[in-house]
Structure formats: structure tokens, C-alpha cells
Structure 1
């Protein structure tokens, strides 16, 4: 559950950069957004792995 909380926090923290990039065309915000999306991808994969392990150990 800790990783899921990190995903929510990261998404909330990058929301302003997404708005700056898409609405104002701020390229630096776009770079920060891309980095945050990569971090989200890694966290999501970690969560997927954790869920799979937990499911398999319960059998």
C-alpha cells in the first residue's frame, strides 16, 4: 500500500507541470512531466510485481 500512496503523491505533485506544459507550452515543465511519468512507470511495475508475488504466495 505504501507504493500506491507514492504513486498518488507523485501524480498530485506533477499536476502543475502537466498544466504548464499543455496549457502554456512550457518545455521545462514537459521535461519534468516526462521524468515523473517514467518514475510512475517504475512504481507501477513494482506494484504489479508485488501483487503477483502476494497472489502466488497465498496459493
Structure 2
């Protein structure tokens, strides 16, 4: 789970950097990169949800 969280963190940082570049500077290429990164983030977040639920069920 630690590795998964690290992957999410790296992707989220890249997304925020590119999204802010698009917002602040009007950088269209950065917007494209941000959209691509958001598509990569989605399955990682779904996987985190599954792993997190399994972890919380074991502790009950």
C-alpha cells in the first residue's frame, strides 16, 4: 500500500504542476499533460480504495 500511495503522490504532483501551468500561463501542452495524468490517476485511486477497504476490514 505504501508503494501505491507513493505512485499516487507522484502523479498528483505532476497533475497539479501541469494544471497550474495551464491555468496561470495558458500553456495548452501542460493542459494536455494534466488531462493524461488524470487518466493515469483514476485507476490508482480505485486500486487504493480497494486496498484501503480490505485493510480496514481486517482490523475490525
Q: 1:55 to 1:16 in 2, by over 3 A?
A: closer
TM-score (norm 2): 0.75
In the alignment, structure 1 segments of 5+ residues that lack a partner are none
Please report how far the alpha carbon of residue 26 of structure 1 lies from its aligned counterpart in structure 2 after TM superposition.
1.4
User: What's the TM-score, normalizing by structure 1?
Assistant: 0.76
d(CA) in 2 for partners of 1:42, 1:54: 18
1:23 is matched with 24
Residues 2-59 of structure 1 deviation map (CA, whole Å, 9 limit, x = unaligned): 1111111111223321121111111111111011111111110001111223334x26
Question: Tell me, which stretches of 5 or more residues in structure 2 are unaligned?
Answer: none
Q: Root-mean-square deviation (CA), in Å?
A: 1.6
Residues paired across the two proteins, number: 58
Map 1:1-59 → 2, pairs under 5 A: 1-56=2-57, 58=58
